[in-house]
């Protein structure tokens, strides 16, 4: 895979991640105390808000890592394992952009 194809895949993943972040932000909005939803429903909503906030932080971290990968894509040695110097699969770079080792060396 050449650099331009990798950039386009990374940019697509960045776009998807930004969309997910927007959805998580919308779902983690506070519930107004004026809304009549009942005590148990309110407790459930508070719990769901905590889960959404955790997912939001994780998505924001992924976005930051993907943007870091894009900024390093033209550097020498990008996409090569720092341990064995073999190419890191593109799937691993997209899923775990912070990875600097191939699957075998990461064990």
Per-residue tokens: 31: 């519930």
pTM: 0.75
pLDDT band at 34; cut points 50, 70, 90: low
Q: Any alpha helices (H) in 30-97, and if so which ranges?
A: 39-72, 90-95
**Which tens digits make up the pLDDT trace of 45-85?**
788 888 999 999 999 999 998 898 888 888 888 889 999 99
Say which residue the tokens 């699969």 belong to.
89
Cα 27 from Cα 46, distance rounded (Å): 11
- Is residue 60 packed enough to be buried (19+ CB in 10 Å), middle (13-18) or exposed (0-12)? middle
50 close to 71: Cβ distance less than 8 angstroms: no
């Amino acid at each position: 895979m050449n650099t331009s194809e990798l950039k386009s895949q990374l940019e697509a993943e960045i776009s998807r991640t930004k969309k997910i972040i927007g959805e998580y932000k919308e779902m983690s909005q506070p519930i107004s105390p004026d809304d009549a939803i009942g005590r148990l429903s309110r407790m459930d909503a508070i719990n769901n808000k905590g889960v959404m906030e955790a997912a939001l932080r994780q998505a924001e971290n992924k976005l930051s890592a993907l943007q870091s990968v894009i900024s390093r894509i033209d550097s020498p040695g990008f996409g090569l394992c720092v341990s064995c110097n073999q190419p890191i699969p593109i799937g691993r770079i997209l899923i775990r952009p912070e990875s600097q080792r191939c699957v075998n060396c990461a064990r």
